[in-house]
Amino acid sequence: MKPRFSLDLARPSRRHWLGYLLLAPAVLLIGLIIIYPLIVSVDISFQNVNIARLDQPRRPFTTANYERLFASGDFWNASWVTLKLIVIVSLFCFVIGLATALLVNNKFKGRTFARLLVALPWAMPEVIAVVIFAWMFDSSFGLMNWVFIKLGFIDTTINWFSSPAAAFAVVCITMIWKGYPFVSIMMLAGLQSIPEDFYNAARVDGANAWQRLVNITIPSLMPVLGVTLVLVMLWVFRDFSIIYVMTGGGPLKATQSLSIMTYEQAFGFFKMGYASAIGVVTLIICVIASRLMIGRAPDNI
Amino acid sequence: MAGIHIERVTKSYGQLAVLKDFSLEVKDGEFVVFVGPSGCGKSTMLKILAGLEEASSGSIRIGGRDVTDLAPGDRDIAMVFQNYALYPHLTVRKNMGFGLKMRGTDSTEIDRRVTDAAKILGVEHLLDRRPKALSGGQRQRVALGRAIVREPQAFLMDEPLSNLDAKLRVHTRAEISALHKRLGVTTIYVTHDQIEAMTMADRIVIMRDGIIQQIADPDTMFRKPANLFVAGFIGSPGMNFLRATVTSNGANPAVRLFGHEVPLQASQSLAGRDVVVGLRPEHIVAGPGPVTFEVTPRLVESLGSEKYIYVDVPSENRAEVARSGGDERRTDTIIARLINPDERIADGRITLSFDPARLHLFDATTQASIE
Ligand SMILES: Nc1ncnc2c1ncn2[C@@H]1O[C@H](COP(=O)(O)OP(=O)(O)O)[C@@H](O)[C@H]1O
Ligand SMILES: [Mg+2]
């Protein structure tokens, strides 16, 4: 038998080589577009850089960016705004998403259309959604002022974008509107994977609709719920365009989240080292938060 | 515990009539099996009994109480599902206690009953596991356990054994029977497997296309099938069918089978009618007998203790009988089931015989049994 020099990937001992071979291009690509910039930005965050240029020599190592960051009121304000956004937007996205999913999971005429309607905001580009909401909340021609006055909630028009609380509320509403369909779609998929016999068994056992929701539907959705929650929170955490287009972070930094602050420092004040430091901190928070969430999700089903 | 009265229940899904005039009286403590080919409406009837489906018409009483329009939870019945429907997020203990908890039973009582049921079923050591960590057989027991802790008036079981492998199925079959003897609770059990029906039932309800074909105990079902469908469905292998025309041979009517005049113990009035003659494979014996014929088997299957002999049917005797789904039998062969045959097959020929008293007669057009 003559020796074979060709790479025999069919051998049991080498079977996993093919896997690595097929993965290689993707890994390279990820390395190029994610890992490399990440390393660069971590590197920059430890230098006193204004406009980062890769062809210039490294500046000396310094932790000044981080020291300044943790001492800055703006940073803590942005963190607080981000936290508030995450809690409020995620909460409402979940309540509305779950409710609409339960609704369109029922059998009724026009269900397909209703499902489409529920998913509609998800398909709309963020900037367009923001423009629509900015219009609706416009102080002089806005729909919302008119509705609220007609309903008698307010007696003079509110200038939504000059009051910090109102601007924050409008941003929240826009994000919820944009974000709940994702939860709804995920929940619907989860709902459809619950076997009908679970409900039949519970009905025979005498569970009413509320008991079935609490004891079967919600626990069965738990795995999907956990992942979805992480994804929604990360989306709120790093979403930039909605806030930027709507308020630009104002008024009085009331809607300045960490991502807005990063952008402002980097491309407004050209303090790229400082901006990178914010970015790195954001990244660390994201990683820790998602680890905690995913780790806590029950591993049943 | 209670009897169940089903009165003229029908069910249609739009145009499709799934149940047609289903009436049945189940006695207190009886074990009744609904059997029939897949799609004949067994599960539908069970769901109507459980209150999970609404009957199109008719009424149901459990223990004398009209439950036709009662919610499933108010009927005091427990159901075992084919895929067990155990909740993956709850432990076995919580799964078994679920029904009691939903009814607001206090927790010490739930605990006591769950432990008792677990003892009966031998799953005490599994109580703190999740269903995912159980084998098929164990899940099956837990599902039974969940039904018995409720101490309901009746059990409804929908093909509870069909997800088990063959060996476990035989074993669990016996266990369910034993459990029924022990608890004495009225049970309605659905299966498509006639062997399960024959071995477990006090009475069998055999169904086809939503119509009850016969209600009888297993022995009667086997000895006196009401029609060709029942005759072909019960027994394994199923009954052989031969077409013949009754002739009047002096005093006795007779039919021609395998070239022999076979006298029938039937009334003279049958003369001239087309009939289907049924003969069970186990009623054909090796060696000479009242009606003897020598054949060349088409095929011999040996199962050790018994042999299946496939025999060609003369063309005049070939019967076109639609059999139940799945059981595709050729019309040009019959099967003889010989238990421990001594008869050697010499030169490919074998002598077989049968007793005319064992023959079943069916009307060729109505398919009903002729007494
Ligand atoms: N929800 C439904 N809608 C329409 N047809 C149904 C529905 N459920 C069952 N059927 C039909 O009713 C017939 C009987 O079903 P089923 O009772 O499940 O049969 P089986 O005897 O196999 O348990 C089948 O033909 C099935 O297609
Ligand atoms: Mg069925």
The answer to whether position A120 is within a domain reads yes
The answer to whether position A44 is within a domain reads no
Residue with CA at minimum distance from ligand 1 atom 7: B13
| pLDDT at position A4 | 57
A203, B52: Cβ pair inside 8 Å? Answer: yes
Average pLDDT over residues A245-255: 82
Phi-psi region of A264 (alpha: psi -120 to 50; beta: other; left: phi over 0): alpha
| pLDDT at position A300 | 41
* B73 part of contact set with chain A, CB < 8 Å: yes
* B72 part of contact set with chain A, CB < 8 Å: yes
The answer to whether position A210 is within a domain reads yes
Would you kindly state where each structural domain of chain B is located, as residue ranges? Answer: 4-227, 232-370
pLDDT (tens digit per residue) in A147-195: 888 887 777 777 778 888 888 888 999 999 999 999 999 999 999 999 9
The answer to whether position A28 is within a domain reads no
Q: Which of A197, A211, A220 sits opposite B89 (nearest CB)?
A: A220
The alpha-carbon gap from A198 to the nearest alpha carbon of chain B, in Å, equals: 5
Q: Which residues contact A22 (CB under 8 A, 6 or more apart)?
A: none
pLDDT (tens digit per residue) in A196-223: 999 999 999 999 999 999 999 999 998 8
Query: Hey, what CATH topology would domain B4-227 get?
Result: Rossmann fold (3.40.50)
pTM for the model = 0.81
A259 vs B319, higher pLDDT:
A259
- B67 contacts in A (CB within 8 Å)? none
- A201 contacts in B (CB within 8 Å)? 79, 81, 85, 146
Strands B306-312 and B299-302: antiparallel
Give the sign of the dihedral formed by CA A288, CA A289, CA A290, CA A295. Answer: positive
Question: 139-178 in B: which are within 8 Å (CB) of A?
Answer: 146, 150
Number of domains in chain A: 1
Q: Which residue of A lies nearest to B94 if distances are taken between CA atoms?
A: A215
Per-residue burial over B308-342, b if 16 or more Cβ lie within 10 Å, else e, is: bbbbebeeebbbebebbeeeebeeebbbbbbeebe
The answer to whether position A46 is within a domain reads no
- pLDDT tier for residue B196 given thresholds of 50, 70 and 90: very high
Nearest to residue B6, comparing CAs of B15, B30, A207?
B30
| pLDDT at position A3 | 57
- pLDDT tier for residue A137 given thresholds of 50, 70 and 90: confident
- Whether B107 shows a pLDDT value over 70: the answer reads yes
Q: Which of B72, B89, B90 sits opposite A204 (nearest CB)?
A: B72
B73, A200: Cβ pair inside 8 Å? Answer: no
pLDDT (tens digit per residue) in B128-186: 999 999 998 899 999 999 999 999 999 999 999 988 888 889 989 999 999 999 999 99
CB within 5 A of ion ligand 2: which residues? B 43
B88, A201: Cβ pair inside 8 Å? Answer: no
What's the ipTM? 0.86
A301, B81: Cβ pair inside 8 Å? Answer: no
Q: Which residue of B lies nearest to A300 if distances are taken between CA atoms?
A: B89
Helix (H, G, I), strand (E, B) or coil at B60: strand
Q: What is the DSSP string of B231-291?
A: HHHSSSSPPEEEEEE-EEETTEEEEEETTEEEE-SS-GGGTT-EEEEEE-GGGEEES--SE
Which residues of chain A have a Cβ shorter than 8 Å from any chain B Cβ?
Answer: 195, 197-198, 200-208, 211, 215-216, 219-220, 222, 298, 300-301
Ligand 1 atom closest to the Cα of residue B45 is 17
Nearest to residue B84, comparing CAs of B93, B73, B95?
B95
* B133 part of contact set with chain A, CB < 8 Å: no
B150, A208: Cβ pair inside 8 Å? Answer: no
| pLDDT at position B253 | 86
CATH number reported for the structural domain that contains residue A197 in this entry: 1.10.3720.10
Q: Which residue of A lies nearest to B83 if distances are taken between CA atoms?
A: A197
Range of the domain at A225: 61-300
Name residues contacting ligand 1 (CB within 6 A): B 13, 16, 18, 36, 38-44
Cα B204 to middle of ligand 2, angstroms: 16
Average pLDDT over residues A229-236: 88
Q: What is the DSSP string of B74-110?
A: GS-EEEE-TT----TTS-HHHHHHHHHHHTT--HHHH
